[in-house]
């Protein structure tokens, strides 16, 4: 049989008054973001929290919020923190939801236990410890949620910043802008390969005009993309090789192997058109020869 703690019994007895004082405390806070949350929503969240809080059944291990009896309370705090992280609240504004309960709760405890000073002191300690832990927990959840949001936004920005353009039938262009790293190169490679599969392109132009610097690491990333493209049956042309980049690559002994390079995207496009034209002519001759041999029964 569960033993109700004195703290929870007090909260249950004065819940309506405590809710009123707590909401008043939150509404009076200078950091309240009224444009992000209505008073009705704030009151509903506070009421739900108090209901879950006072429902924690066991006195044993009350100060430790890691037990299963605190699961529903922590789940609700997590939902609040994640929601406020998405809405644009700051960490302090989010944690204030829990910490602002301290003074109203302390006042209610003093009022209810004024004739039991020893009991009062103990329950004040309990309340402070629990709210501190839940407040810190809300901050941890908020921080994790913000990191997830930022990572997702960065991923979306990387995908948007690596568009594959169809320049001509069978010719694609991948303009790269900004610094290249392993993660961004991987995304660019995946986007390019997927587009090659969809369009059946046989020439891909990787334009690095907007890449500020090419070092050994960047060159390795480019070579990996070129190799993967070739495995998909397409040839690569790298454009945007400026004089400064050419000098740097020579100085670093970077060898792009047999990869065709051009100074501008326009030059690379002309080369791609010539290659496609030659390839088409060769295919037509092969097809004609095959048809002739078939007609002869060879």
User: What ranges do the domains of the chain cover?
Assistant: 6-156, 165-296
Q: How far is the CA of 236 from the CAs of 37, 161, 275, 283, in angstroms? A: 53, 20, 11, 19
pLDDT of residue 285: 47
Would the pTM count as exceeding 0.75?
no
Residues 274, 172: Cα–Cα separation, whole Å: 14
Q: In which residue are the tokens 């989010």 written?
A: 94
Q: Does pLDDT of 287 surpass 50?
A: no
pLDDT tens for 275-286 read 888 766 544 444
CATH no. for 6-156: 1.10.490
Residue 94's nearest CA partner among 39, 25, 149, 140 is: 140
Q: What is the pLDDT of residues 100-155, one digit of tens each?
A: 999 999 999 999 998 898 889 989 998 999 999 999 999 999 999 999 988 887 77
If you ran DSSP here, which 8-state letter would residue 24 be given? H
Please tell me the least confidently modeled range out of 3-12, 124-133, 218-227.
3-12
Q: Which secondary structure element, helix H or strand E, spans residue 296, and what is its range?
A: helix 265-296
State which fold the 165-296 domain adopts: Transcription Regulator spoIIAA (3.30.750)
pLDDT at residue 96 in the model: 92
Residues 6+ apart with CB under 8 A from 171: 201, 203, 204, 205, 269, 272, 273, 276
The residue ranges of DSSP E strands in 146-220, in sequence order, are 165-168, 171-177, 203-210
Q: Residue 239: which region, alpha, beta or left (left: phi > 0; alpha: psi -120 to 50)?
A: beta
Beta bridge partners of 102: none
**pLDDT, the chain, mean:** 85
Torsions phi, psi for 171 (to 5 deg): -125, 125
List all residues 6 or more positions away from 118 whose beta carbon is below 8 Å from its beta carbon. Answer: none
> What distance separates the 2 farthest-apart alpha carbons in the chain?
115
3-state secondary structure of 129: helix
Q: Averaged over 153-171, what is the pLDDT?
A: 79
Give percent of the chain above pLDDT 70: 87
- 20 backbone dihedrals φ, ψ, rounded to 5°: -60, -45
Tokens at 88, concatenated: 């644009």
Give the whole-number percent of the chain exceeding pLDDT 90: 49
Torsion of CA 185, 190, 193, 196, to 10 degrees: -110
Helix (H, G, I), strand (E, B) or coil at 110: helix
Q: What angle do CA 102, 108, 111 make, to 5 degrees?
A: 140
Structure-model confidence comparison of residues 60 and 194, the more confident one: 194
Q: For residue 9, name the pLDDT band (cuts at 50, 70, 90).
A: confident
Q: Do domains 6-156 and 165-296 have the same CATH topology?
A: no
């Amino acid at each position: 049989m569960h033993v109700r703690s004195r703290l929870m019994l007090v909260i249950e007895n004065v819940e309506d008054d405590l809710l009123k004082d707590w909401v008043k405390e939150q509404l009076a806070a200078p950091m309240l973001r009224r444009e992000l949350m209505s008073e009705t929503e704030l009151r509903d969240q506070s009421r739900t929290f108090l209901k879950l809080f006072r429902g924690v059944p066991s006195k044993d291990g009350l100060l430790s919020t890691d037990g299963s009896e605190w699961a529903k309370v922590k789940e609700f705090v997590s939902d609040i923190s994640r929601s406020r992280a998405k809405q644009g609240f700051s960490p302090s504004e989010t944690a204030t939801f829990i910490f602002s309960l301290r003074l109203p709760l302390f006042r209610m405890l003093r009022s209810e236990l004024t004739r039991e000073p020893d009991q009062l002191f103990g329950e004040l300690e309990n309340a402070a410890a629990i709210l501190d832990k839940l407040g810190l927990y809300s901050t941890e959840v908020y921080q994790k949620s913000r990191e997830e949001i930022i990572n997702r936004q960065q991923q979306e920005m990387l995908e948007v910043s690596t568009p594959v353009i169809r320049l001509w039938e069978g010719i694609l262009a991948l303009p790269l802008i900004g610094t290249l790293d392993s993660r961004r190169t991987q995304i660019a490679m995946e986007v390019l390969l997927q587009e090659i599969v969809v369009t059946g392109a046989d020439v891909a132009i990787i334009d690095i005009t907007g890449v500020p610097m090419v070092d050994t690491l960047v060159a390795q990333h480019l070579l990996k993309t070129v190799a993967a493209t070739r495995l998909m049956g397409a040839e690569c042309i790298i454009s945007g090789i400026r004089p400064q980049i050419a000098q740097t690559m020579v100085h670093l002994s970077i060898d792009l192997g047999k990869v065709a390079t051009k100074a501008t995207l326009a030059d690379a496009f002309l080369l791609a058109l010539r290659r496609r034209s030659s390839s088409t002519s060769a295919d037509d001759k092969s097809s004609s020869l095959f048809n002739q041999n078939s007609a002869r029964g060879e």
